[in-house]
Structure 1
Amino acid sequence: MLTSGLQHVAAMYAGVVAPPLIVGAAVGLSGTELTFLTGASLFTAGLATFLQTLGVWKIGAKLPFVNGVTFAGVAPMLAIVDTTDNKADALPVIFGAIIVAGLLGFAAAPFFSRLVRFFPPVVTGTVITLIGVSLLPVAFGWAQGPNPAAKDYGSTTYLSLAGITLVVVLLLRRFTRGFLKQVAVLVGLVLGTLIAIPFGVTDFTPVQEADIVGFPSPFHFGAPQFALAAIISMCVVMLVSMTESTADMLALGEIVERPADEKTIAAGLRADTLGSALSPLFNGFMCSAFAQNIGLVAMTRIRSRFVVAAGGGFLVLMGLSPVAASLISVVPRPVLGGAGVVLFGSVAASGIQTLVKAGLEKDNNVLIVAVSLAVGIIPITKPDFYHAFPETAQIILDSGISTGCVAAVLLNVVFNHLGRGRDADEVTAPMEPGDEISGSASAKAAHVH
């Protein structure tokens, strides 16, 4: 449980620390303050993971979900920093906006969850595939090195380290059994890091400079401030985050063979939004489910939510001990990139498996998948495609998962629900908890009707 939980932390660590590093640098924080802000994000990610996996009352999907800082909020937070006259007030304004957005999202969770009826296999399969495809460029970026502006970015050294890590993970998965097979990604990261030492890529400086103990004191950067423009901006981010979390829960539900129903999604969204509302108390940002960890569940087939809760425990400890947090940061980006190819590719493969059962022999469903994938891939292949749109609209449009999800839902309604285009079979009905993923079409149709 502990090693598998640590494997989840290793898979999502870079995604958690990147937003606070970017925003903190924009605010002009010192190195010490940046370390504090990063530790706070790890600590609050652990608390949010506890909420999601263990659950309290009707809060938490109780699925093997890791929660952390959502990257969707980075652009609007940078915009808030740019429009704040006194940079010292930027973080309090951001934290105030996140608190309000989190509370409003918590209230809206049960209504938002009712959208699950519009997520049949043809929609969920498309969205799951998009999640994997959208994450793969992140792995490719890691494989090229830590600094895109550096001369050695994308060098053969970096790409070779990524390739070696990938090969190690694949060999372990193919030729080992039991425990070693389940922690293949973690072993791959350790071996990749050791191999990187002679190349001078592994940096142990963060470990040497980190403190042993450090608690994220509440409102360290000042009491939250509430600015209307910032609140509206973060509410839009919250809607995007809730859309992606819904898609992630549907994806993970398929992988663990426990399809997420309306009740599960509502509980999961409550955990996301409450975690976001509480996060600024300890100087953290908006939290959301991490899609990259879905790939780890898909690959290892370890479906226990308590394993992920153990990962949440590691995140809390890292937040309380900067030196522990720095150990994960030692893993070079190219090594993370090699492992990420397997993790994120597994998510896309799970989406394809779902699409196989989605009735693609019907022309309507082929069109839904084709157009939705195209719309979702736009921000990946052409990042500046929506540059002429208002900044608020770009927050939504620049997320391929969100745009592809919306397109799939709307097209499914038009082709399979409205007028004569509606097909009365399983491909238009949402996945129910009692449905067998591999069951026959007639059995599913009988269950739905």
Structure 2
Amino acid sequence: MAAEPRFRNDAAAVSVDAEPSGGPETSVKHPVDEVLPPVRMFTSGLQHVAAMYAGVVAPPMIVGPAVGLSAKETAFLVGASLFTAGIATLLQTLGFWRVGARLPFVNGVSFAGVTPMIAIGKGRGHDGIAVILGAIIVASVLGFLLAPYFSKLVRFFPPVVTGTVITLIGVSLLPVAFGWAQGTQGAADYGSMKNIGMAALTLVIVLALRKLLRGFFQQIAILLGLVIGTVIAIPMGMTSFDAMRDADPIGFPTPFHFGAPQFEVSAIVSMCIVMLVCMTESTADMLALGKIVGRPADERTIEGGLRADTIGSLVSQFFNGFMASAFAQNIGLVAMTKVRSRYVVATGGGILILLGLCPMAASAIALVPLPVLGGAGVVLFGSVAASGVQTLASAAMEKGENALIVATALGIGLIPIAAPDFYQAFPKDVLVVLDSGISTGCVVAIVLNLAFNHLGAGKSVEEPEQQAVPEAAAAIH
């Protein structure tokens, strides 16, 4: 009797034993390595861009004015962020040598660095940006050197830890969707019934499309929902075409546009801390995505992913971008659409590069009103949390210790969401870590798992944990 197909955990085509007695072998591609038809590839990649667009442009739109840049210079930062996010995404999905996770893994500008970057460059204009870039260059080199050692932490991520972290990722992202649903913060209609109603309508449209459509169109329900929501929003006056009218058709992000990088010790220390936070979150994201796509992330995958993060961050500085890190919202998109091809996400990376080179095209995606994004975001981010719950189902929760680990880690990880000012008396450098519920929840889950399930229990720290990731993946699929 023929054996079941076995997918190897790498980026190559995998072998399938056609006969158990050493008969002929057939080459079968893992869904992660599948190349889809061109139209489907493009539309699915565009859907990833639509899901991440607001997250990519938000940090430069916040940091630019804070450091004293003009509206035109801030727009330049936005284009640079899109361009460098595309480069970082290609490094992750396609990779080279031992760089890249080779998973459908989207990279963009990390929110973790927004607060320290504002503190570094506030009111300093071009000099402020130059200092930020210099600090990120040093942090990127440090992260690249640490990647082989940091990746070994995978053995400390059994289902009780990964399930908790994945759930936290989804829950932590939901407030972003709720913020989008209210509209532009500071605007007269922020939080209005019209904005929230538009978000609710978009949510209903996405759910209806998922229910009624089949096949390919069902998979791009999010993109269709965003398009339909935007069309409905136009006669309601919720979509502005000003950005598109004022944008140039072509614009290359000039290297070191704001001057040569400057290196200040305090800024370097802050951004090195941010880099460690980003590496922690990326590790958790890779483990989550590995489960969802059926290719569990091992040490080599995580090492390659972290190298892509850090090289992407380094290259970004030459083109005036910021620190590159994983985008968890796109993990939710993969989970919902079931499109697992890394080449789809690579196509999205190519689209991001083109958007960065064509400000007019980039502004076209900006036509999607924030409330429309918010409605779709509820489904996207909720899907991530649901994947975490699925993982926890395989975590032997009947053991009191595991239930206690999850309860404590979730509780502490939710502090920045439930009580944003909880850590306000702590030093600013410490807040970089504490304000990330994903990072704090991850650390707490790892420490408690070691304390309750290993130390003093006569167990090897490595033995059960090395098998935990594939077992969790099997439970999901």
Tell me the TM-score range normalised by the shorter chain.
Answer: over 0.9
Deviation at 1:81? 1.4
Q: Measure, in 1, the Cα distance between the counterparts of 2:380 and 2:391.
A: 17
Partner of 2:177: 139
Q: Is the 8 A contact 1:259 1:431 kept in 2?
A: no
Deviation at 1:185? 0.3
- 1:181 corresponds, among 218, 241, 248, to 218
Q: Measure, in 1, the Cα distance between the counterparts of 2:129 and 2:80.
A: 13
Q: Is the 8 A contact 1:113 1:265 kept in 2?
A: yes
Q: Measure, in 1, the Cα distance between the counterparts of 2:230 and 2:470.
A: 44
The residue type paired with residue 429 of structure 1 is E
Q: Measure, in 2, the Cα distance between the counterparts of 1:324 and 1:222.
A: 27
Q: Does 1:395 align with 2:435?
A: no
- 1:35 corresponds, among 75, 79, 82, to 75
Q: Measure, in 1, the Cα distance between the counterparts of 2:53 and 2:426.
A: 32
Deviation at 1:430? 3.6
User: Of Structure 1 and Structure 2, which has the larger fraction of its residues in helix?
Assistant: 1
Q: Call closer, same or farther: CA 1:435–1:354 in 2, change over 3 Å.
A: closer
Deviation at 1:314? 0.5
Q: Is the 8 A contact 1:258 1:433 kept in 2?
A: no
Q: Does 1:414 align with 2:438?
A: no
- 2:151 corresponds, among 113, 119, 127, to 113
Instruction: Write the deviation string for residues 98-139 of structure 1: whole angstroms up to 9, x where unpaired.
Output: 001001100000000001100000000000000000000000
Q: Is the 8 A contact 1:121 1:431 kept in 2?
A: no
Partner of 2:285: 248
Q: Call closer, same or farther: CA 1:288–1:263 in 2, change over 3 Å.
A: same
Q: Is the 8 A contact 1:12 1:293 kept in 2?
A: yes
- The 5 A counterparts of 1:297-376 are 297-376=334-413
Partner of 1:73: 113
Q: Measure, in 1, the Cα distance between the counterparts of 2:53 and 2:362.
A: 9
Partner of 1:293: 330
Partner of 1:262: 299
Q: Call closer, same or farther: CA 1:10–1:439 in 2, change over 3 Å.
A: closer
Q: Measure, in 1, the Cα distance between the counterparts of 2:398 and 2:461.
A: 15
Q: Is the 8 A contact 2:230 2:372 kept in 1?
A: yes
Q: Does 1:16 align with 2:56?
A: yes
The residue type paired with residue 329 of structure 2 is Q
Deviation at 1:150? 2.8
Partner of 2:262: 225
Partner of 2:273: 236
Deviation at 1:278? 1.1
Deviation at 1:414? 0.2
- The unaligned stretches of length 5 or more in structure 2 are 1-40
Q: Call closer, same or farther: CA 1:421–1:360 in 2, change over 3 Å.
A: farther
What is the TM-score when the length of structure 1 is the normalising length? 0.95
Q: Call closer, same or farther: CA 1:175–1:40 in 2, change over 3 Å.
A: same
Q: Measure, in 2, the Cα distance between the counterparts of 1:283 and 1:6.
A: 24
Instruction: Write the deviation string for residues 181-221 of structure 1: whole angstroms up to 9, x where unpaired.
Output: 01100000000001111211011111111100000010000
Instruction: Write the deviation string for residues 363-397 of structure 1: whole angstroms up to 9, x where unpaired.
Output: 01000000000010000000010011100000000
The residue type paired with residue 287 of structure 2 is L
Deviation at 1:422? 5.1
The residue type paired with residue 20 of structure 1 is P
Deviation at 1:433? 6.9
Q: Measure, in 1, the Cα distance between the counterparts of 2:383 and 2:125.
A: 42
Deviation at 1:438? 3.2
Q: Does 1:3 align with 2:39?
A: no
SS across alignment from 2:149:
helix
Q: Measure, in 2, the Cα distance between the counterparts of 1:292 and 1:422.
A: 36
Deviation at 1:421? 7.7
Deviation at 1:151? 3.3
Give the fraction of aligned pairs with identical amino acids, expressed as a percent: 67
Partner of 2:96: 56
Partner of 1:155: 192
SS across alignment from 2:87:
helix
Q: Measure, in 1, the Cα distance between the counterparts of 2:374 and 2:466.
A: 35
SS across alignment from 1:420:
coil
Deviation at 1:35? 1.2
Partner of 1:378: 415
The residue type paired with residue 283 of structure 1 is N
The residue type paired with residue 132 of structure 2 is I
Q: Measure, in 1, the Cα distance between the counterparts of 2:468 and 2:258.
A: 46
Q: Call closer, same or farther: CA 1:185–1:162 in 2, change over 3 Å.
A: same
Q: Measure, in 1, the Cα distance between the counterparts of 2:460 and 2:189.
A: 55
SS across alignment from 1:68:
strand
Q: Measure, in 1, the Cα distance between the counterparts of 2:302 and 2:468.
A: 12
Q: Is the 8 A contact 2:65 2:71 kept in 1?
A: no
Deviation at 1:88? 2.8
Q: Measure, in 2, the Cα distance between the counterparts of 1:432 and 1:120.
A: 5
- The unaligned stretches of length 5 or more in structure 1 are 441-449
- The 5 A counterparts of 1:86-105 are 86-105=124-143
Deviation at 1:439? 5.8
The residue type paired with residue 66 of structure 2 is A
RMSD: 1.6
- 2:474 corresponds, among 431, 438, 446, to 438
Deviation at 1:402? 0.2
Instruction: Write the deviation string for residues 319-357 of structure 1: whole angstroms up to 9, x where unpaired.
Output: 000001001111000000000000000000000000001
Q: Does 1:169 align with 2:212?
A: no
Deviation at 1:27? 1.9
Partner of 2:160: 122
- Structure 1 stretches of 4+ with a deviation exceeding 6 A read 423-426
Q: Measure, in 1, the Cα distance between the counterparts of 2:460 and 2:156.
A: 14
Partner of 1:429: 465
Q: Is the 8 A contact 1:415 1:421 kept in 2?
A: no
The residue type paired with residue 74 of structure 1 is V
